[in-house]
Amino acid sequence: MKDSARAVIIGGGVVGASTLFHLAKIGWTDVLLLEKSELTSGSTWHAAGGMHTFNGEANISRLQKYTIDLYREIEAMSGQSCGLHANGGLMLAANQGELDSLKLICSRARYLGMETAMISLEEARELNPLIDTSYFTGALWRADGGHCDPSGTTQAYVKAARILGAEVERYTRVLRLDPRADGSWDVVTDKGTVHAEHVINCAGLWAREVGHMVGIELPVLAMEHHYLLTEDIPELRGREREIVNTTDYSGEIYMRQERGGALIGTYEPHGIVWSPVKTPDDFSMQLLPDDFERLAPQFEVGFQHFPALGRVGIRKAINGPFTFAPDGNPLVGPVRGLRNYWVACAVMAGFSQAGGIGLVLSRWMAHGDPGQDIISMDVARFGAFATPQYTSLKVRENYARRFRLAYPNEELPAARPVRRSPIYDRLLAAGAVMGANFGLEHALWFAPPGIAPLETPTYRRSEAFDIVKAECKAVRSAVGLYETSNYGKYEVTGRGARTWLDRIFASRIPAPGRLSLAPMLNPAGRIVGDLSIACLDEERFLIIGSGFAEEFHLRWWQMHGPPADVALRSAASTLTGVSIAGPRARELLQRLVRLDLSGAAFRLFNVAQCAVGLAPAILTRAGFTGELGYEVWTTPDYFLTLYEQLWEAGGDLGLVHFGGRALSSLRLEKNYGSFNKDFRPDYTVAETGLDRFVDFSKSEFIGREAALAERATGPKRRFVVMEVDAIDAEVVGYESIIKDGAAVGYVTSGAYGHCIDKSLAAGYVPGELAREGEVLEIDILGHGCTARVRLQPLYDPKGLRLRS
Ligand SMILES: Cc1cc2nc3c(=O)[nH]c(=O)nc-3n(C[C@H](O)[C@H](O)[C@H](O)COP(=O)(O)OP(=O)(O)OC[C@H]3O[C@@H](n4cnc5c(N)ncnc54)[C@H](O)[C@@H]3O)c2cc1C
């Protein structure tokens, strides 16, 4: 075994193999994969090999398509067959919600370049004659997908990687990872030590243990999973083509052809965690005991929906473990606080995802950037809240819901509440329907007295529609209170703070007493943050951003190292806040504040440290509603008092609570985009329109060269808000935007604009179509809805109310 390598990959399952291949392909040929047993001996060898492009996140779908398309390339390169059966996929719906979900997939697929179609049940039966169509109401067919041979595929990656110069050592167990002062690692194995610049945890079932080697607790857990192989099925005899791989959502069953019979698997509601505390060292190429009794009800449904399966015997049952993260998406990327330690684990769909994971990870390692937005599989989407118990509750929930479609208005209940603000109970008493953001409960909308704080999961307008409308109208006509504790909050202090921030952010850093909107770019000029910076004094800054991105932003800042004279810390749990917005906001706050809040004295983007009632606070004149608005920040010990005093002071002014749903509507009426939804690392600063906040006169900031180059040529596409002739549903996100029959862009977010009485969609279109009034079309749940570009906000286009 060699004693040094640029990168050592721990784990020879399909994910480690793909990572090895991609690193070698990108030019890192001095890479070594260490496998404690045979290749594939974790969860890979007994997988069903199913592959598909379906994922709720468009970027992950795109990477899944890349994975599937890659197989031909590695076959050609390695001479090793992946055992491909590219027979496509069928998804069956049994109720309106499932049907809507399939229609949404179709709308999204057009821009992603994936061939899909809603088909009749008769057509579905031609593709899979085993379906009893009486149980279903509709079907989607997709060209991509099928199944492959797990072992052949892993070997093909490895053989192709070896051709490129990469090396593999089997039967070599990594025992320890010892960091060196320069950030490199001594990888201590049972066969000796390898010095590596980088290590990558691809240890699958043992990812948790390989995390422990460096003192981290990754949110990953294994579940048992069963599938059955039947004896030959007479109905399949003599068919020229294999049946199409089929997913039955209501039955929570997947099935496909396996030789002359079928393979049928299920994700049961009461799944069993495997090895909850420690994965056994000696587990290798093993299966787990069958548990037919527990699974019988699920397979019974399968035998009803596919009756021919019930008429033949079971040839073999497979029960094996594989790993999940709390939300079912992989954990990929560098880990904050560790140098040169990367993860690619919790991959529950390795044959759909490993190729894409290897691709982005190799780019990230070689170029310092994954090359596209992958926030939804970034390990940084979890923070300290993702404890082992949280992971255990969420992974079980996720497993049980694997084939239950997630509705856009649905909030999942497991492991909640985890983080609560001091006014949580007050908000509940006011009728709040809660969501969770980075583990913190926050109000989505408020059920008025006499109305249950419940919402039917749906893709269409729900019973909350009129309630949210009332919240929006109250904000625009009087004043509303929205809790902002779930925003990301950071303090940057010290002599070098301004200089450091100047380099990190593309915007001008505000003077003391002022706040500025602050885009943050990566070197390619793409958006990695859309935050605001308040300057409290020359050496003290409060930064506000998206709560879900806390770990992501902290990692970014730590990577771009604050110097010794700068202190950076998260104020996530030490600062709580509210936004007070509406034409009567000033009147309300002035009752609690001695400072003169008149328009001339405390202008838009002014900042003050002052008492608000009994609470010492930071007060900013800012907000996200487009109305006259303030944000008040105080520490959690004062927060309840602040809330009570605001509430008392606002009683006669018409003060209402408003939640996240109303905020989404109010911001889109003003054409404001939001980080993660509309602004992501996929988009350049000029595409988002945030270039208006960039200070091009600065001689240095991250992304400056790229932003300047883009300024010279103009952006290729632009963020726009569109007014949509919707029927009874708003866009969800990622629907294709159509012009003259061709998909030209896609939606990033949407909401009903209650105060302008129009359905709104935000998204990206080619620059030449970003014209006022341009007529486009968006497919919403199967209806081609006309969408007109509105470059000016439909509400208060001159911003008079904001500045009032
Ligand atoms: C029954 C079943 C059916 C499935 N069906 C499908 C399907 O149809 N489609 C699909 O896409 N996915 C399916 N999966 C999931 C799929 O198996 C996983 O996504 C995939 O195997 C994950 O691969 P991995 O490389 O991350 O992990 P693993 O396959 O677990 O590989 C990790 C490797 O790391 C090695 N290792 C661990 N610790 C060390 C150490 N200290 N030193 C050296 N080596 C170490 C292990 O020996 C192991 O080989 C199924 C899983 C099961 C259980």
Per-residue pLDDT of 3-15, as tens digits, reads 999 999 999 999 9
CA of 43 to the centre of ligand 1 (A): 3
* Max intra-chain CA distance, the chain: 86
**What average pLDDT does this structure show over 647-663?**
98
The ligand 1 atom at the shortest distance from the C-alpha of residue 37 is 47
Indicate if ligand 1 lies below 6 Å from the C-beta of 12.
yes
If one residue of 43, 245, 324 were mutated to test the ligand 1 pocket, choosing by the most ligand atoms within 8 A of its CB, it would be 43
Residue 55 is predicted with a pLDDT of 87
pLDDT digits (tens, 9 = 90+) for 129-138: 999 999 999 9
Indicate if ligand 1 lies below 6 Å from the C-beta of 227.
yes
Indicate if ligand 1 lies below 6 Å from the C-beta of 320.
yes
**Residue 713: helix, strand or coil by DSSP?**
helix
Indicate if ligand 1 lies below 6 Å from the C-beta of 211.
no
CA of 262 to the centre of ligand 1 (A): 23
Give yes or no for a contact between 488 and 633, defined as CB atoms under 8 angstroms apart: no
Q: 229-250 in b/e burial notation, b at 16+ Cβ within 10 A? A: bbeebebbeeeeebbbbbbbbb
CA–CA dist 726, 735 (Å, integer) = 13
Indicate if ligand 1 lies below 6 Å from the C-beta of 628.
no
Q: Is the pLDDT of residue 285 over 80?
A: yes
Residue 293 is predicted with a pLDDT of 86
Indicate if ligand 1 lies below 6 Å from the C-beta of 322.
yes
CA of 547 to the centre of ligand 1 (A): 32
* For ligand 1, atom 14: residue with the closest CA: 47
* For ligand 1, atom 31: residue with the closest CA: 13
Q: Is the pLDDT of residue 67 over 90?
A: yes
pLDDT digits (tens, 9 = 90+) for 182-203: 999 999 999 999 999 999 999 9
**What average pLDDT does this structure show over 405-414?**
92
CA of 322 to the centre of ligand 1 (A): 6
CA–CA dist 246, 124 (Å, integer) = 10
Indicate if ligand 1 lies below 6 Å from the C-beta of 202.
yes
The ligand 1 atom at the shortest distance from the C-alpha of residue 225 is 1
Indicate if ligand 1 lies below 6 Å from the C-beta of 263.
no
**What average pLDDT does this structure show over 726-748?**
97
Q: How many CB atoms within 10 Å of residue 110? A: 18
Q: For tokens 């936004």, what's the residue?
A: 579
Q: Name the band, by pLDDT with cuts 50, 70 and 90, for residue 403.
A: confident
Residue 28 is predicted with a pLDDT of 98
Please choose, from the candidates 103, 723, 69, 48, the residue with its C-alpha nearest in 3D space to the C-alpha of residue 359: 69
CA–CA dist 457, 448 (Å, integer) = 19
Task: Determine what percent of the chain is predicted with pLDDT higher than 90.
Answer: 97
Indicate if ligand 1 lies below 6 Å from the C-beta of 48.
yes
Residue 292 is predicted with a pLDDT of 84
Q: Which of 33-37, 49-53, 135-139, 403-407 has the lowest mean pLDDT?
A: 403-407
CA–CA dist 364, 675 (Å, integer) = 21
pLDDT digits (tens, 9 = 90+) for 433-475: 999 999 999 999 999 999 999 999 999 999 999 999 999 999 9
Indicate if ligand 1 lies below 6 Å from the C-beta of 613.
no
Residue 646 is predicted with a pLDDT of 98
Q: How many CB atoms within 10 Å of residue 486? A: 24
* For ligand 1, atom 3: residue with the closest CA: 47
Q: Which of 283-287, 470-474, 706-710 has the lowest mean pLDDT?
A: 283-287
The ligand 1 atom at the shortest distance from the C-alpha of residue 345 is 26
The average confidence (pLDDT) of the chain is: 97
CA of 204 to the centre of ligand 1 (A): 5
CA–CA dist 121, 562 (Å, integer) = 60
pLDDT digits (tens, 9 = 90+) for 375-393: 999 999 999 999 999 999 9
DSSP 547: G
**Residue 71: helix, strand or coil by DSSP?**
helix
pTM of the model: 0.97
Indicate if ligand 1 lies below 6 Å from the C-beta of 592.
no
* For ligand 1, atom 51: residue with the closest CA: 47
If one residue of 169, 193, 206 were mutated to test the ligand 1 pocket, choosing by the most ligand atoms within 8 A of its CB, it would be 206
* For ligand 1, atom 13: residue with the closest CA: 47
Indicate if ligand 1 lies below 6 Å from the C-beta of 659.
no
If one residue of 34, 38, 44, 332 were mutated to test the ligand 1 pocket, choosing by the most ligand atoms within 8 A of its CB, it would be 44
Indicate if ligand 1 lies below 6 Å from the C-beta of 556.
no
**What average pLDDT does this structure show over 102-122?**
95
Sign of the dihedral through C-alpha 413, 415, 419, 422: positive
CA of 544 to the centre of ligand 1 (A): 39
* For ligand 1, atom 26: residue with the closest CA: 204
CA of 275 to the centre of ligand 1 (A): 15
DSSP β-bridge partners for residue 379: none
* For ligand 1, atom 12: residue with the closest CA: 349
Q: Is the pLDDT of residue 405 over 80?
A: no
